[in-house]
Amino acid sequence: MGVYVHKSVLELADLTNREKLVLAYFFNLKLKKINLSNKEIALTLNFSAIEIKKIVLSLKNKKYISLVGNTTKREIKIKKNLEMKFEKATFNGFNLDDDILKLDLNTTKKFVLAEIRSLISSKNGKCTASNLHIANLLKLKERAIQTALLELEKNGFLKRNLKNVNGKTERTIILNLNNTATDETAVNFNEIKEEVPEQQYNDEVLAIFKSFPKRPMMSDFKVEEQKSLCLPILKSKSKDELEFIKFVIGFNVKNNESWKAGFMPYMYKFLEVDKEKYFNEAVKLEFDKFRNKPKVNANLQLLNLQLERDLFDFFSEIEESVWEATDLEILKEFKIRYINGYLKFNDIDFNKRALKKIKEYRPSNLNF
């Protein structure tokens, strides 16, 4: 069944979220007179009867409802009618389903989960809305959304994934309502995170936390406070996301003048509050360049340098008639004199690169 919360209810600035939920429930009943007891309302909305009693009295005092009769036989009448229009291609509200209602969460978090599910259903199975967008829809402060998402992710109700889409960082929110979500939204989080041994993954997370520069005169208490805030955030990230975070830290240490001067933010602010400032498109492009840069094999570089030197000495010491031999014959002769210096290198790499060098040394008019 659930409760549909229309945007006209969300816009009531003088009500708390709990009061909005109860009022929305009354509107859902579509009855002129509501004869439900506090206990019955509480059972439906997963509140205590005492909480419902306080909310009903508050709605009465704010003149949204009136109460007729005594405690044992009471009628609730809605006094303030709201205009509940439903417009196409716009936000009209969301349905708070029973599986969300029954969760042991505060009303703000339930609203956030319900709105994310609504966005997933209307946006091809994806929710890419920003914190500000969700806050505007729910008529809440952006900070309240940030806190709610962090705690919901920490407790496994959702996961946030970052990825590069056409040069921009896109965040996708995936729901995991203890396997009570629909087939489209239910996700096995173990399948999302790469298969990395847990201890190794925790060590990587801790290393990233320690790599974040400490502010001058930062107390041990503040360090532990930041650690308790940041480790759950980092542990919720995939390996690719951790690589990006590690890169952004290093990028700012090298390029951000305020960081060089010791005016870096606290790590929690860096990860959550100001993340759009630090994890922006320009830095993502730098990260992609860094990630796609060809990996340097120091061993092969050393092999090339050694061959360059030894082949030069080899050709300077022997007769020019050596070019009458094939490349393989020249390589065989070279090995007789210099092989002891190449025992640590892979034999296939050695042969391949030595033959390439011999071809380069061979005079163009004496190609064999």
Q: pLDDT digit string (tens) for 85-118?
A: 887 767 888 999 888 998 989 999 999 999 998 8
pLDDT computed for residue 213 by the predictor = 87
> Considering the domain 97-192 in this protein, what is its CATH number?
1.10.10.10
Determine the average pLDDT of the residues in 26-38.
Answer: 87
| CA–CA dist 59, 67 (Å, integer) | 10
Decide if 3-78 and 97-192 have a common fold.
Answer: yes
Rounded average pLDDT over 292-301: 74
Give residue 199's pLDDT. 63
Cβ-based neighbour number of residue 281 at 10 Å: 12
**Can you give the pLDDT at residue 76?**
92
pLDDT 10s digits, 39-50: 899 999 999 989
Give 328's Cβ-side CA count (13 Å radius). 0
* Residue 71: predicted pLDDT: 63
Q: In this structure, are residues 56 and 65 in contact, taking their beta carbons and an 8 Å threshold?
A: yes
More confident residue, 180 or 1: 1
Look at 173 and 368; give whichever has higher pLDDT.
Answer: 173
Q: Which amino acid is at 359?
A: K
Cβ proximity of 37 and 52 under 8 Å: no
Dihedral over alpha carbons 362, 364, 365, 368 (to 10 degrees):
50
Q: Kind and range of the H or E element at 151?
A: helix 142-154
Residue 354: the pLDDT is 92
Least confidently predicted of 18-22, 187-191, 225-229, 264-268:
187-191
Which is higher by pLDDT, 295 or 172?
A: 172
Q: Is the pLDDT of residue 32 over 80?
A: no
| Segments making up each domain of the chain, as ranges | 3-78, 97-192, 198-272, 298-366
- Chain-wide mean pLDDT for the chain? 83
Q: Half-sphere exposure of residue 169, counting CA atoms within 13 Å on the CB side? A: 22
Q: How confident is the model at residue 323 (pLDDT cuts 50, 70, 90)?
A: confident
- Of the candidate CATH numbers 3.30.56.10, 1.10.10.10, 1.40.20.10, 3.30.70.20, the domain formed by 3-78 belongs to 1.10.10.10
Could you tell me if 335 and 358 are in contact, meaning their C-beta atoms sit under 8 angstroms apart?
A: no
**Average pLDDT in the 14-36 region?**
90
Please state the rounded mean pLDDT for residues 271-285: 85
| More confident: 167 or 64 | 64
Q: State residue 290's pLDDT score.
A: 79
Nearest to 280 by CA among 161, 162, 145: 162
Is 44 within 8 Å of 63 (Cβ atoms)?
Answer: no
CA 104 to chain centre: 24
**pLDDT classification of 366: cutoffs 50, 70, 90:** low
pLDDT of amino acid 123 = 56
User: How many Å is the Cα radius of gyration of the chain?
Assistant: 33
Query: Rounded mean pLDDT of 137-149?
Result: 91
How do strand 93-96 and strand 3-6 relate by DSSP bridges? Answer: antiparallel
With tokens 């209307």, the residue in question is 122
The predicted pLDDT at position 59 comes to 93
Section 11-37 average pLDDT:
91
> What pLDDT sits at residue 196?
47
206-210, 289-293, 298-302 — which is least confidently predicted?
289-293
- Average the pLDDT over 167-184 and give the result: 66
Beta bridge partners of 69: 74
Top pLDDT among 31 and 77 is at: 77
Q: What is the pLDDT of residue 185?
A: 43
pLDDT of residue 343: 87
The percent of residues in the chain predicted with pLDDT above 90, rounded, is 25
- What does DSSP assign to residue 178? T
Query: DSSP state, 365?
Result: G
Mean predicted confidence (pLDDT) in 47-59: 92
Which pTM does this prediction carry? Answer: 0.51
pLDDT at res. 13: 93
Q: Is the pLDDT of residue 192 over 60?
A: no
Q: Who wins on pLDDT, 79 or 163?
A: 79
